[in-house]
Amino acid sequence: MPFGAHMSISGGVSKAFARGAQVDCEAMQIFSKNERQWNAKPIAPEEVLAFKAEQERTGIGPVIVHDSYLINLAAPADELWEKSIAAFSHELERCDLLGIPYIVTHPGAHTGSGEDVGLEREAVALNRIFESGVGGRTTVLLETTAGQGSALGNRFEHLARLFELVPHHDRMAVCVDTCHIFAAGYDIRDEASYRATFDAFEHIVGVGRIKCFHLNDSQKDLGSRVDRHSHIGQGCIGQEGFRLLVNDPRFVGIPMIIETPKGDGMAEDVENLSLLRSLVGKANGSV
């Protein structure tokens, strides 16, 4: 599996590659802009060239973008909904410009309108975006969520419903976050629970739709619905859940990205990625 981490774009999107190479990323996730602001300056042509040159130099790929945390395509309020559609469309344009294959997005929050209404609202937004043709070479990855507040995506059925409502399956797939599914109530800590969780995913959504994993341990316990990431093997999931995942033959070639806490020197990324790689090929009880 290509392992990697989320990297800062401070100084420009092309700068992320040197940081990724520093911690031995094979794949990488970035924001294409400040994730806590609606607007962003266009990416300059010279920065696009630098991005592509740095990717060729380092060999890091795929590069995946995570969209802004402000976007809510399930919002019931028209003003925020329209603003979110415009912002997400802009994110897709930036991805297309950089040649990014995947953009990860949370399936939104219904903020009181109810799950069914929120999912329908999200679907209308996605259909409108896809039918506009924006970001034509970039696939949208719906990320599983912990279900905090009114967030959608914490049940596999939510994802299945969106695939029912959005027929553009060539433009849409899934990113599974281990911390999020665990906090949402899907156990992966041992072989039996891991098998049950992914059997359920196969039955409800289809594991073939998974195009990326976020590998994060969880500070909070099973079913807490609280999204708090921890270092690999140091949270409530533990090493065994990750050993099972990185040795699952169904997921060979799928990028696995850590979003674990990090300091300025990124030593934590090196440690987490090294541990994950050490689990590949390890039998139960051999770690």
Catalytic residues: 36, 66, 69, 106, 143, 177, 180, 214, 227, 229, 259
Contact 98, 74 (CB under 8 A): no
- State the residue for tokens 């329908």: 120
Structure tokens at 130: 């896809």
Q: For 105, phi and psi rounded to 5 degrees?
A: -140, 145
Question: Where does residue 261 fall: left (phi above 0), alpha (psi -120 to 50 degrees), or beta otherwise?
Answer: beta
DSSP character string of 245-282: HHT-GGGTT--EEE-----TT-HHHHHHHHHHHHHTTP
Task: Report the interhelical angle of 239-246 vs 191-204 (nearest 10°).
Answer: 50
- State the residue for tokens 């976050």: 177
248: Cα separation from own chain's centroid: 19
- The residues near 185 (Cβ < 8 Å, ≥ 6 apart) are 154, 222, 223, 225
Burial of 161 (0-12, 13-18, 19+ CB in 10 A): buried
- State the residue for tokens 């090294």: 274
Q: Coil, helix or strand for 44?
A: coil
Rounded to a whole number of angstroms, the CA Rg of the chain reads 18
Terminal CA-CA length for the chain: 19
